[in-house]
Amino acid sequence: MKKTFFVSTPIYYPSGNLHIGHTYTTTLADVMARYKKENFYEVFFLTGSDEHGQKIEQKAKENNITPKEYVNEVVETFKDLWNKLDINYDRFIRTTDEDHIIAVQKIFSFLLKKDLIYLSEYKGKYCISCEEFLTFEQMDKDFVHNVCKNVATDFQEETYMLRVSKFQKYLQDLFKTNFLVPESRKNEMLNSFINTGLEDLSVTRVSFSWGIPVLENPKHIVYVWIDALSNYITALGFGSDNTELLEKFWSEDGEILQIVGKEITRFHSIYWPILLNSLNLKTPNKLLSHGWIISGGNKMSKSLGNVIDPIELLKSYSSDAVRFYIINNLPTDRDGEWTEELFIESFNTNLANNVGNLISRVSNMIIKYFNGKLNTKLLDKNHYLVRMGLETIEKYKKLMDNYEMNAAIKEVLKLAQECNKFIEETKPWNLEKEDKLEELNETLLILQKNILIVSYLLKPILTKSYENMILQMGVNPEKVNFDSLTNNKIDFETISKKLVLFERIKK
């Protein structure tokens, strides 16, 4: 049986258009999904939209339309963006989907019956923009939320509460595993929430109506975060008649990776495992909590108005360029910058000058000196660059298996750099002049093989350019895989066409 891999992004609020921050998480997930497919995993990649809640209700009112009309429009722009960015998800779940609504009501009823949820009264501060109940540590003295900078509102309602406090020991044990990365976030959760008194969580609202009603008491609407977190399992059929996907992908043997931004780590590392545990489902193998894209010193966000619109960006630049910047320039364990200058510089340095230049030089020389085809018998298997190529595959796999995409791509770029350096040192054009054709063939063959490795390892990122990179080496892209690369099972055809890859971006 094939191994399975489930990967998810948060489901985003359609309270406005998506920006480059959302694009970040979704691209990470897409790259991991594609990498796993290359490793013969059966993959399920889930993304979607989080459509209920007070903020959406307000937005719809401002626009004089119903909430459903409002979200329908925005969700189309989400799908359009993912399409333009070559995001290849398996399901786009909407929390207004009928199957999701029914399943959330079942989950709520189940927890109520188990007495994990009880009726009470709650008083505190609430951030409508983030749909989050805030502790005093999350606000300044004027009750401004430190993430989105909106003022929190007073909140006092009859509400159902989830017995979060009961789960302290469970969470402490869970946090002893490496379920949450990076380590810094793990410590933050332990110190700020888990070890310092976990409070029960309000899980219904009565003061607005755009959401999923509690069956047992319909004036109560299920708290948007309980509704939203459930998407990860309702999308697979939890609470429906068909649980085939759930059994397959949310199984003990299956690998489950969830990727989120750091501001919602609390929900995914505390409340979500509690829900799963209560439903007798396994905890994800890994929760990867990444940093923010910062702009002008602040988190890039709709409410702060400092966003970069990826749709605009994709009018000027290719999806590969955007995907590349995300993986190469934004390491997940810290905050990252997005400026157009850095973006152009990274593209020119890494793709135009390093990788692109390598491919075009080598293919030009193979065409010029050998009419497009080398003698492949002349491979020096002990050459340091041949060994380095194989080692790069190993290192890359190890890092990718650990979800360290940024470190993995650095290894690939290093190999390309070494190849360029090797060209400078061996000066193949001189070998031709000196009539050392065998040596020239050997040299170019080493480079040709390594270019295949570089290109293949970039395949999950450079989805649009990949095919041309491989064709430029005279190889059928479909025949390239981890096995054929490591075991020398590649057939080279005659290279004829010169293709332009990664044209330099002019500032």
Closest residue to ligand MSP using C-beta atoms: 21
Please report which helix (H) or strand (E) contains residue 220, including its range.
none
Query: Would strands 336-337 and 4-12 be described as parallel, antiparallel, or unpaired?
Result: unpaired
In Å, what is the CA distance from 38 to each residue of 364, 456, 459, 474?
29, 10, 9, 21
- 419 annotated binding-site participant: no
What values do phi and psi take at 17, rounded to 5?
A: -75, 160
**What's the closest the beta carbon of residue 133 comes to ligand MSP, in angstroms?**
14
**What's the closest the beta carbon of residue 307 comes to ligand MSP, in angstroms?**
8
Question: For residue 196, how many other CB atoms are within 10 A of its CB?
Answer: 10
**What's the closest the beta carbon of residue 338 comes to ligand MSP, in angstroms?**
9
Nearer Cβ to ligand MSP (43/148): 148
Nearer Cβ to ligand MSP (287/469): 287
Nearer Cβ to ligand MSP (93/214): 93
Nearer Cβ to ligand MSP (260/445): 260
**What's the closest the beta carbon of residue 134 comes to ligand MSP, in angstroms?**
14
**What's the closest the beta carbon of residue 329 comes to ligand MSP, in angstroms?**
13
- 130 annotated binding-site participant: yes
What gap in Å lies between CA 207 and CA 193, rounded to an integer?
A: 27
Sheet holding 298-299, edge to edge: 298-299, 293-295, 336-337
- 127 annotated binding-site participant: yes
Nearer Cβ to ligand MSP (78/422): 78
**Cβ atoms 78, 18 nearer than 8 A:** yes
Binding residues for ligand MSP, rule: CB under 6 A, are 10-13, 21-22, 24-25, 50, 228-229, 231, 260-261, 264, 292-293, 299-301
Nearer Cβ to ligand MSP (94/449): 94
Nearer Cβ to ligand MSP (84/361): 84
What values do phi and psi take at 88, rounded to 5?
A: -110, 70
Contacts of residue 52, defined as CB under 8 A and 6 or more positions apart, other chains included, come to 95, 96, 210, 211, 212, 221, 224, 227, 228
What gap in Å lies between CA 436 and CA 135, rounded to an integer?
A: 74
What gap in Å lies between CA 193 and CA 437, rounded to an integer?
A: 68
**What's the closest the beta carbon of residue 127 comes to ligand MSP, in angstroms?**
11
**What's the closest the beta carbon of residue 17 comes to ligand MSP, in angstroms?**
10
**What's the closest the beta carbon of residue 411 comes to ligand MSP, in angstroms?**
24
Angle, helix 357-370 to helix 405-426, in steps of 10 degrees? 40
Query: Would strands 204-205 and 180-181 be described as parallel, antiparallel, or unpaired?
Result: unpaired
Sign for the pseudo-dihedral over CA of 16, 21, 23, 25: negative
Task: Extract the tokens encoding 24.
Answer: 């970040």
CA 268 to mean position of chain CA atoms: 15
ω before 182 within 30° of 0 (cis)? yes
Nearer Cβ to ligand MSP (260/351): 260
Binding annotation: 127, 130, 148
Q: Which residues are annotated as a binding site for Zn(2+)?
A: 127, 130, 148
